[in-house]
C-alpha cells in the first residue's frame, strides 16, 4: 500500500497587485505518494515556482492546508516548520547552487553537520550517495572542476543527504544539453523509486518525461492532470 507523502488541500496563493490581485495558485489539491515521481509543467507565470515554494514551506499559502508525512504543517510553530523543512524536504535548483570552496563530498557533509550528525556516519552516507549518482571518483572535486551535469548530480546527492520525505525539484535540466538533461531526469526517477521519496519537479521540458509517473499541468494557478485520452483535465 502506498503512503501519501505530500498532500495539498485546496491551496491558494493570492498576491495583491495594485487594486486587483494575482491568484498564483487557485484551489490546488494534489497528493503525491512516497516513491512517486511527478512533474508539473506549464507556461511561464502559471504558478509552478509558487507551488514549490508553498510545498517547500518557504511561503505560507493564503488558504488551504499542506501535509508532509501526514503532519499538517500549517498547525506547527515556525520553529517546528523550519525543522520539517530541514529534515523532511530536499531541494534541487535550476543551477546546482553549490558552495564554490567545498568539494563534492563536503557539500554533502555540511548538510549532516548542520543537523548535528556524527561526522563518521555522515561521511559513509555521503560517499554512498555520491557513488549512487555516479560521482565516486569526483568526491574530492570542487564545483569549478565539475561539468554542469556533474554539478547537478551533486545537487541531487546533497538533497538526498537528509533522507527527505519530499524532494522538490525546480527546472533541473534548464542549464544542460538534451542528453545530459535526459540522464538527470532518469536519475531522479531512479532515486525516487529506490529511496521511496516523493518527488515533485517543475519543468518546461515536456520531451523527456519517460521516467515520470504522473504529469500535471499548471495554467493560471489551476492544476490539471494529463489524461492521455482527453488532454488536460482539472486535477
Residues contributing to the site for ligand ATP (CB under 6 A): 15, 22, 24, 42, 44-50
Residue 163 CB, nearest approach to ligand ATP (Å)? 27
CB nearer to ligand ATP: give 24 or 157. Answer: 24
3-state SS assignment for residue 88? helix
Residue 24 CB, nearest approach to ligand ATP (Å)? 3
CB nearer to ligand ATP: give 47 or 143. Answer: 47
Residue 50 CB, nearest approach to ligand ATP (Å)? 3
CB nearer to ligand ATP: give 12 or 29. Answer: 12
Residue 12 CB, nearest approach to ligand ATP (Å)? 12
Strand partners, 215: 39
> Which region, left, alpha or beta, applies to residue 122 given φ > 0 means left and ψ of -120 to 50 means alpha?
alpha
Strand partners, 226: 232
Q: Cβ neighbours of residue 1 under 8 Å, at least 6 residues apart?
A: none
Residue 209 CB, nearest approach to ligand ATP (Å)? 16
DSSP letter for 105, please: H
**Interatomic CA distance for residues 30 and 65, integer angstroms:** 11
CB nearer to ligand ATP: give 57 or 130. Answer: 57
CB nearer to ligand ATP: give 4 or 59. Answer: 59
Range 136-141 contact pairs with CB under 8 angstroms and sequence separation of 24 or more: 138/104, 139/103, 139/104, 139/105, 140/103, 140/104, 140/105, 141/103, 141/104
Amino acid at each position: 500500500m502506498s503512503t501519501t507523502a505530500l498532500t495539498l488541500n485546496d491551496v491558494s496563493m493570492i498576491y495583491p497587485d495594485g487594486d486587483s490581485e494575482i491568484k498564483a495558485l487557485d484551489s490546488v489539491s494534489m497528493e503525491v505518494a512516497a516513491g512517486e515521481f511527478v512533474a508539473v509543467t506549464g507556461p511561464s507565470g502559471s504558478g509552478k515556482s509558487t507551488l514549490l515554494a508553498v510545498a517547500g514551506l518557504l511561503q505560507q499559502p493564503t488558504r488551504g492546508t499542506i501535509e508532509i508525512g501526514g503532519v499538517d504543517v500549517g498547525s506547527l510553530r515556525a520553529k517546528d516548520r523550519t525543522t520539517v523543512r530541514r529534515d523532511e524536504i530536499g531541494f534541487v535548483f535550476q543551477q546546482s547552487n553549490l558552495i564554490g570552496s567545498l568539494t563534492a563530498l563536503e557539500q554533502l557533509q555540511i548538510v549532516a553537520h548542520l543537523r548535528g550528525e556524527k561526522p563518521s556516519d555522515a561521511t559513509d552516507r555521503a560517499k554512498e550517495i555520491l557513488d549512487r549518482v555516479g560521482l565516486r571518483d569526483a568526491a574530492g572535486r570542487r564545483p569549478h572542476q565539475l561539468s554542469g551535469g556533474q554539478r547537478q548530480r551533486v545537487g541531487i546527492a546533497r538533497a538526498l543527504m537528509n533522507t527527505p520525505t519530499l524532494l522538490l525539484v525546480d527546472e533541473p535540466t534548464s542549464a544542460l544539453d538534451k542528453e545530459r538533461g535526459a540522464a538527470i531526469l532518469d536519475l531522479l526517477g531512479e532515486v525516487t523509486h529506490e529511496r521511496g521519496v516523493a518527488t515533485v519537479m517543475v519543468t518546461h521540458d515536456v520531451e523527456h518525461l519517460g521516467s515520470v509517473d504522473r504529469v500535471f499541468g499548471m495554467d493560471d494557478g489551476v492544476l490539471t492532470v494529463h489524461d492521455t485520452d482527453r488532454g488536460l483535465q482539472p486535477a
